[in-house]
């Protein structure tokens, strides 16, 4: 098991994917320090990354689909209430994480997708961009010749942010523009509870980034949390999940998946299948970027 030093235990403890996750951690910490809830912090941190379009993989500045426009996925979870909201394949809404929170707070549903998700976001008064050109892009996509064997994956990152707040409650959220060049209508793991994100307020939380199909086929974050329930350290659980998938998947370790986790004690962990994985941690008003190498194969 790779060693990941624990952050200081004072105040909220957070972990986020990729180097740009440090910006999310800092924004979340500032929000909580100003009196916001843990959920407010998650939303604020992810909204910042959506605004920045970090790494060309989050928000409307993220990678377009095969028809030339972005479709966004996001979800948010509140551990103490077991509340959750999710949006998938949403077009033109600037902050999908806020749309996901509104689904949780202002509807009787957990997940909305496509046009319905956009309509709901607009009813909620969320910020949008002009999508009047999308009809032509969609028509052009349907009409054009295309190779069904052409690879769709052209980059794929996600901002996933997990928090254990000062009260010992857990929160999480994630947001992405998905795999570049994906078929219109493709939804990855990020808005799927138990795949891209899972939070159990009694145990811990886990999140994912990478090729969504290789996460969602194994309900990976649910399994990571269940491993922690059985006593595994978050680091051990993340690594074990990579090995578990690689043992049965035709791709072996060439999965392009990474995991992060945090438990009820504020311990954190991260693992990657076949690459060096930088991630951010924060606690006590401090944050830093760390990294783990690809898991050691048996």
- The answer as to whether 143 is a domain residue is no
Which percentage of the chain shows pLDDT scores above 90? 85
Query: Which of 17, 98, 158, 268 is flagged as catalytic?
Result: 158
Per-residue tokens: 74:
């996001």
Only one residue has tokens 């939380």, namely 205
Q: Please check whether residue 272 is in contact with residue 209, taking contact to mean a CB–CB distance below 8 angstroms.
A: no
246 occurs within a structural domain: yes
What's the CA gap between 218 and 125, in Å, rounded?
Answer: 36
Residue 136 lies in a domain: no
Q: Give the largest CA-CA distance in the chain.
A: 57
Residues with Cβ within 8 Å of 265's Cβ and at least 6 positions away in sequence, in order, are none
pLDDT at position 1 is 65
For 246-286, the pLDDT digits (tens) are: 999 999 999 999 999 999 999 999 999 999 999 999 998 89
Pairing label, strands 83-90, 111-113: parallel
> Which residue range forms the structural domain that includes residue 104?
13-130+152-292
Give the C-alpha separation, 217 to 205, whole Å: 19
Residues 289, 290, 293: CA angle, nearest 5 degrees: 145
> Whole-angstrom Cα distance, residue 145 to residue 263?
49
Instruction: Please tell me the distance from the alpha carbon of residue 257 to that of residue 254, in angstroms, as a whole number.
Output: 8
- Is 50 exceeded by the pLDDT of residue 87? yes
For 272, the token pair is 């990657």
The answer to the question of residue 166 being in a domain is yes
User: Taking residues 188-209, what's their average pLDDT?
Assistant: 97
Does 8 map to a domain? Answer: no
Q: What is the pTM of this model?
A: 0.93
Domain-located, residue 297:
no
- Whether 209 is catalytic is no
Report the range of poorest mean pLDDT among 88-97, 155-164, 185-194: 155-164
Q: What tens digit of pLDDT does each residue of 27-52 get?
A: 999 999 999 999 999 999 999 999 99
Query: How many domains does the chain fold into?
Result: 1
Q: What mean pLDDT is predicted for residues 174-185? A: 92
Q: What is the CATH number of the domain that holds 238?
A: 3.60.20.30
pLDDT of residue 8: 44
In a domain, 139, yes or no: no
What is the model's pLDDT at position 298? 86
């Amino acid at each position: 098991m790779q060693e990941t030093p624990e952050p200081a235990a004072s105040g909220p403890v957070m972990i986020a994917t990729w180097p740009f996750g440090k910006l999310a951690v800092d924004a979340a910490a500032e929000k909580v320090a100003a009196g916001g809830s843990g959920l407010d912090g998650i939303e604020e941190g992810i909204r910042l990354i959506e605004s920045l379009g970090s790494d060309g993989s989050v928000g409307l500045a993220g990678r377009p689909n095969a028809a030339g426009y972005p479709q966004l996925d996001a979800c948010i979870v509140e551990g103490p209430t077991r509340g959750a909201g999710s949006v998938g394949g949403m077009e033109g809404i600037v902050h999908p994480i806020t749309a996901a929170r509104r689904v949780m707070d202002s509807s009787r549903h957990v997940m909305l997708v496509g046009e319905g998700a956009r309509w709901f976001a607009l009813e909620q008064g969320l910020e949008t961009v002009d999508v009047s050109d999308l009809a032509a892009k969609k028509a052009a996509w349907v009409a054009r010749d295309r190779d069904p064997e052409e690879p769709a994956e052209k980059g794929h990152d996600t901002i996933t942010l997990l928090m254990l707040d000062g009260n010992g409650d857990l929160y999480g959220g994630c947001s992405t523009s998905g795999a570049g060049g994906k078929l219109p209508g493709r939804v990855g793991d990020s808005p799927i509870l138990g795949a891209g994100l899972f939070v159990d307020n009694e145990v811990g939380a886990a999140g994912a980034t990478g090729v969504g199909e290789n996460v969602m086929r194994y309900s990976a974050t649910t399994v990571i949390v269940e491993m922690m329930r059985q006593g595994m350290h978050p680091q051990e659980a993340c690594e074990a999940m990579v090995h578990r998938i690689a043992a049965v998947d035709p791709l072996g370790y060439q999965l392009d998946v990474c995991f992060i986790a945090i438990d009820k004690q504020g311990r954190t962990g991260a693992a990657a299948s076949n690459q060096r994985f930088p991630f951010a941690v924060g606690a006590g008003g401090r944050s830093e970027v760390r990294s783990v190498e690809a898991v050691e194969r048996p």
